[in-house]
Amino acid sequence: MNPPCTGLSYLVRQEGHAGGSPYPLRDGMVAMKPFEEFPDPLKKSIRYVLTDIDDTLTIKGRITSFVFSAMERLQGAGLHVLPITGRSAGWCDHIARMWPVDGLVGENGAFYFRYDSSRKKMVRRYLKSEEQRKKDRTELEKIAGIILEKVPGCQIASDQSYRETDLAIDFCEDVPPLPMEQVEQIVRCFEEAGARARISSIHVNGWFGTHDKLTTTALLFEEVFKVTLEQVKDRVIFIGDSPNDGPMFAYYPHSVGVANLLRFRDKIEEEPSWITRERGGRGFVEMADILLRGRAE
Ligand SMILES: [Mg+2]
């Protein structure tokens, strides 16, 4: 059973740690440290803030003015802010155009979008051709039928109409939360049909192809910033909240979880290096405040 969603203070109490890391370790794992201990010299070296959206920027499904303000303040300090999300192409078009961001990766790495304000032009960089995306959608529709039949209680995600490349199954956003066993059954349906699948905090996303959030982020860095991600990964902060952020937590030396990550502790294979005290968007603001304060000093 998952631990209850009661955050850091609960775990500190439950685990009975009076000092040091409150997070017990699995074999071979390094403890997550409170982000407030992030060293000042590292704060000054950070150039990129990569962030998940759902339950990392949001609080109960919404983004507060404090979160937008934190993103603006990060940009104002010269940092590049880039959401890395499973959200749909339609949403990402809006985000790239209107949010305080420098671009974003969407649909779990199927593309990156960037609004070039100097040329007033939207850059949409897909990994697959339009023809291939159309073929994939036909196959994914068949998988959707199988999942809806086999897993009662889930539904097609509300943003599916605006997706170009993947199928999102809602298990927690607009439906009552499903038990993890059924969420895993959705994943199996995708995999049996030859698709990849990832669990976010609200959806299971499935798609065809080898791309993922990390590979497409690397492509964005090469094509937009003209650097390899590997060269600059120690100048990146990645912040997220759920198992589908695991590969990023493992890759970036300065990965951060917001406190609600703790509800997935028995499902996540790679934990971040750091964790915030606060949950969701409040955790993101906490990270931004600590980072900016240290850079100013
Ligand atoms: Mg999330």
pLDDT of residue 8: 36
pLDDT of residue 30: 56
φ/ψ (deg, to 5) at 253: -60, -30
* Digit-coded pLDDT (tens) for 265-278: 777 788 999 999 99
Give 245 Cα–ligand 1 centroid separation in angstroms. Answer: 7
pTM listed for this prediction: 0.85
Give 55 Cα–ligand 1 centroid separation in angstroms. Answer: 5
Q: Spell out the residues 6+ positions from residue 136 whose beta carbon is closer than 8 angstroms to its own.
A: 128, 165, 207, 208, 209
Q: Exposed (0-12), middle (13-18) or buried (19+): which is 39, by Cβ within 10 Å? A: exposed
Q: Which domains does the chain have, with CATH numbers?
A: 40-127+212-296 (3.40.50.1000), 130-207 (3.90.1070.10)
Give 18 Cα–ligand 1 centroid separation in angstroms. Answer: 30
φ/ψ (deg, to 5) at 6: -115, 5
pLDDT of residue 31: 80
Q: Can you list the positions of beta strands (E) in 84-202?
A: 104-106, 111-116, 121-126, 155-156, 167-170, 196-199
- Using the structure block, give the residue that is written with the tokens 């952020």: 245
Give 36 Cα–ligand 1 centroid separation in angstroms. Answer: 22
- Alpha carbon distance 176, 127 (integer Å): 34
- Using the structure block, give the residue that is written with the tokens 């040091």: 20
- The alpha carbon of 11 is separated from its chain's Cα centroid by a whole number of angstroms, namely 23
pLDDT of residue 2: 35
φ/ψ (deg, to 5) at 200: -100, -170
Give 119 Cα–ligand 1 centroid separation in angstroms. Answer: 32
Give 230 Cα–ligand 1 centroid separation in angstroms. Answer: 24
User: Cα–Cα–Cα angle for 156, 267, 64, nearest 5°?
Assistant: 60
Residue ranges of the chain with per-residue pLDDT less than 70? 1-30
Give 89 Cα–ligand 1 centroid separation in angstroms. Answer: 17
pLDDT of residue 201: 79
Give 118 Cα–ligand 1 centroid separation in angstroms. Answer: 31
DSSP H or E stretch at residue 256: strand 255-257
